Amino acid sequence: MTHAEMDELYELYALGVLEAELGAEIDKHLEEKCSYCVEHVRKAFELLATLPEVTEAVQPPAGLRRRLLASVSTTPKRRSNWVFAVAGLSAAAAGLLIFSLWSATQASRTREQLNAVSQDRDRLRAATADLNQSQQEATRLRNDLAALTTERDQLRSAAANLGKTQAETVQLREQLAALTKERDELRVAVEKSRNDAARFSNQLASLTTERDQLRASATRSEQEAAALREESATIRSDETQFHAAVEILSRPRTRNIGFGKLESIPHGHVFLNPEGLVLIGAQAPTLPSDRTFELWLMPVQGAPEPVGLFRPAASGQFVFTSARAIDTSQIKAIAVSIEPRQGSSAPTTKPILIVPLG
């Protein structure tokens, strides 16, 4: 049920004559604290409270009660009076009906007055709300005015300090100009330093290159000197061996033993003497730089005995001389093997050359 449908039921609800189902609907709204129903029920009870004041109190005529009782008497002889009593009661009922209609009219008029008062109250409430809104707007305007006043005072203070700020600005500009000049001078000095550093770097690179060239030249000179010293030592050794070989070859007990008849294999002569031997040959194989030839005496019994180390010439020719005393009766052969550059105490490879002495 809508509030519009319930508008005509609130007075009946207040009188207590509303149907139970409709009354329960209004009770439900009141339990839910419906503001619309609470207000209209309150108005209905206020209207009922004003009804006794609508009509003026009337004092009944004297003897009215007595006459009414007499009119309803059951005495047979007063039957004609009963008829008049009934007529009187009918007239009274009619009067009461007219009074009721008049009362309803007055109640409707009172309701209209209450509605008018309610409308005036609502207008006053709206006016009060507008007034509150106006007061809030005025408060906001006052706050805005205060803020603008504060901002104005701040601007005035800033304007008062503007002269001082301008003087500080001029001073800062002068300091900035001095710093800019100093910066430019430092830039020139840095650029000059960079140029000097680049020139020094170039000179240093040139000197370094020259130093490296001199070091390389010195290294080559040292290598050439070492080669010359080695060659000189070789010459001296060859000379010593040559003299020793000549001495051995000139002795009458020297034996000449040839080996290697083919030109494609190592071949040459062994000159053997109890006071030494000379090995002369050609077609020696090329040796690695870390290898050398080692000559061995092969005894009739026992292990080979090392005699000495030698390296062939680039042409494959070789000469080895030993002034070591040799018991030729105990030596059955001489042998040559390839050994490490520092030599070995016993052969480590198969001999490339074996010359029997028998």
- pLDDT tens for 186-203 read 999 999 889 988 998 899
For residues 67-87, average pLDDT: 46
Q: How many residues does the chain have?
A: 358
At residue 3, the pLDDT reads 87
At residue 281, does pLDDT exceed 90? yes
Asked if 338 contacts 349 with a C-beta cutoff of 8 angstroms, the reply is: yes
Q: What are the structure tokens assigned to 18, written together? A: 């509303």
Mean local confidence (pLDDT), 49-57 = 59
At 237 the pLDDT is 66
Between 307 and 157, residue with greater pLDDT: 307
Q: Find the range with the poorest average confidence among 28-37, 245-254, 273-282, 298-307.
A: 245-254
Residues above pLDDT 90, as percent of the chain:
34
Task: Pick 74 or 122 by higher pLDDT.
Answer: 122
Task: Please state which of the ranges 74-78, 143-147, 208-212, 231-235 shows the lowest mean pLDDT.
Answer: 74-78
* Token representation of residue 10: 């609130």
- Res 321: pLDDT: 93
For the ranges 72-76, 97-101, 168-172, 321-325, which has the lowest average pLDDT?
Answer: 72-76
Q: What is the average pLDDT score of the chain? A: 81
d(CA 92, CA 89): 5
- Give yes or no for a contact between 284 and 293, defined as CB atoms under 8 angstroms apart: yes
Residue 285 three-state SS: coil
- Residue range 336-351: average pLDDT? 95
Q: How do the residues of the chain divide into helix, strand and coil, expressed in percent and rounded to 5?
A: 65, 15, 20
Burial of 194 (0-12, 13-18, 19+ CB in 10 A): exposed
- CA distances to 130, 140, 322 from 137, in Å: 10, 5, 134
Q: Angle at Cα 198 formed by Cα 195 and Cα 202, nearest 5°?
A: 140
Confirm if 49 and 41 have CB atoms less than 8 A apart.
no
Give mean pLDDT, residues 282-311: 95
What tokens appear for 100 in the block? 């009721």
Write the CA distances from 283 to 312, 333, 337, 353, integer angstroms: 9, 20, 15, 11
Radius of gyration of the chain (CA): 77
Distance CA 248, CA 323 (A): 8
Look at residue 77 and tell me whether its pLDDT is greater than 90. Answer: no
Q: Residue type for 240, please?
A: T
Q: How confident is the model over 125-175, as pLDDT tens digits? A: 887 777 778 788 878 888 888 888 898 988 888 777 776 777 888 888 989
What's the pLDDT score for residue 106?
Answer: 61
The pLDDT score that the predictor gives to residue 81 is: 44
Phi/psi at 251 (5° precision): -80, 145
Q: How many helices (H) and strands (E) does the chain have?
A: 7, 8
Average pLDDT over residues 71-98: 46
- Whether residue 352 has pLDDT greater than 80: yes
**Per-residue pLDDT, 67:** 61
| E strand or H helix that includes residue 244 | helix 162-249
Percent of the chain predicted with pLDDT > 70: 80
* Alpha carbons 132 and 126: distance in angstroms, whole number: 10
What one-character DSSP code corresponds to residue 6? H
d(CA 120, CA 135): 22
